[in-house]
Amino acid sequence: MQISVVGGSIGGLTAALVLRNLGHEVDVFERSPHVLMQRGAGIGLLPETSRYLTDVADMDIDDISISTSSIVHLARNNSILHQTKHQYRFSSWNTVYRQLLSCWGTERYHLNHEMTQWSNVDVSPISVSFANGSSVESDLVVFADGVNSMARAQLVPGSQPRYSGYVAWRGMVPESEVSASSRACLGDSITYHVYANSHILVYPIPGLDGEVEPGKRLINFVWYRNYASGGDKEDLLTDINGVQREVSLPPGAVSPHHVAEMKAHAAARLPAAIAEIVMKTKEPFLQVVFDLAIPQMNFGHACLLGDSANLARPHAAAGTAKAADDAWALGHALSTSQSVNEALQKYNESQTAIGHQLINRTENIGRRSQFDGTWVPGDRDLIFGLKAPGA
């Protein structure tokens, strides 16, 4: 088949690679005019996200990620409140994206192709049009256009992402700039601090060029803070040029007074080792936390994939894993079905169920930490995983 994948991030690229390996003619259309850069900083790396790189491209997982051996909760005075032995892997969005793109190549990765409309998805071929005036005909269209998906908005009317009540402040610091005492405290762990209506986590990720050697890595933080909508949130999301954003503010775009408030709060309230990471971050950035469950992912000869479909909060570190798992499931369904219709129905059944359980789990984690105050260190429900905690 002639397949168009709209959106060239981790979900779109994984889908393109899996479908090309099944013998299809695949093209990826990405709206950005440039190869994507540094989006999303660190990611907890679950096996689904790296599956193509390790199982097909035969990469060594240690070359694209960093392993941590325990989960630590620090008390406000920087002492260890709780410690559990548990191995995680961390990488960066950029490291995974660059490796997937190197597997895919640039020939059929069409930058500067912002999809603007498409023809009836029930009639094949589907014609997809782009802002640059070009169009393409396809037997199957995979919409992997992310959190603000235009495809989702039109195919599932009324499907607005739901604001969780909090945002994630994020940033990274070169490990070499962190004091010896904080490095010793943060060690070989993911480190949490949980307090009233907030929590922050800190973990090592590869350097900007993918370096995984100690000393050349980055220390990444994700700090969940509540902002009421109807004033506080909108003020926070108004960038330095006065433009109000909806989903994220990239590095350098957050108003200086919000950065100053955030850093002052870190200094006053967080354990010293974690506060140091926040305060040394040069250009913190923001991602708004949303969720959204949609009833179906298949539409005639098209489907939604990754964040363009069901959208889960980040607490299970499973966003890219869900997108990649959707890609593998789509490939499996297509290779074991008699028609596109049958394949997309199978795809929809398995992946909608996975998406919905993830949304429920992560909504629960978010509510407990940000609103109810019932997050207990060591609770197994809080372990990362796509299909279940730790799985």
Ligand X SMILES: Cc1cc2nc3c(=O)[nH]c(=O)nc-3n(C[C@H](O)[C@H](O)[C@H](O)COP(=O)(O)OP(=O)(O)OC[C@H]3O[C@@H](n4cnc5c(N)ncnc54)[C@H](O)[C@@H]3O)c2cc1C
List residues binding ligand X (CB under 6 A).
6-12, 29-32, 36, 40, 43-44, 49, 113-115, 144-147, 150, 168, 222, 287, 306-308, 314, 317-321, 323
Q: Closest separation between CB of residue 139 and ligand X, Å? A: 19
Q: Closest separation between CB of residue 322 and ligand X, Å? A: 7
Identity of the residue, 222 or 259, whose beta carbon is nearer to ligand X in the bound complex: 222
Q: Closest separation between CB of residue 14 and ligand X, Å? A: 8
Q: Which two tokens stand for residue 381?
A: 């429900």
Q: Closest separation between CB of residue 180 and ligand X, Å? A: 27
What is the strand order of the sheet 298-299 is part of? 109-110, 25-29, 2-6, 140-143, 302-304, 298-299
Q: Closest separation between CB of residue 179 and ligand X, Å? A: 25
What gap in Å lies between CA 265 and CA 152, rounded to an integer?
A: 38
What gap in Å lies between CA 101 and CA 12, rounded to an integer?
A: 10
Identity of the residue, 44 or 206, whose beta carbon is nearer to ligand X in the bound complex: 44
76 contacts 268 by C-beta, under 8 angstroms? no
324 contacts 51 by C-beta, under 8 angstroms? yes
Identity of the residue, 144 or 343, whose beta carbon is nearer to ligand X in the bound complex: 144
Q: Closest separation between CB of residue 120 and ligand X, Å? A: 18
Q: In sequence order, what DSSP letters do the residues of 57-82 get, joined into one string?
A: S---HHHH-EEEEEEEEE-TTS-EEE
Give Cα 367 distance to the centre of its chain: 19
Identity of the residue, 32 or 78, whose beta carbon is nearer to ligand X in the bound complex: 32
What gap in Å lies between CA 128 and CA 143, rounded to an integer?
A: 11
What gap in Å lies between CA 374 and CA 196, rounded to an integer?
A: 10
Q: Closest separation between CB of residue 225 and ligand X, Å? A: 11
Cα angle 73, 233, 359; round to 5 = 55
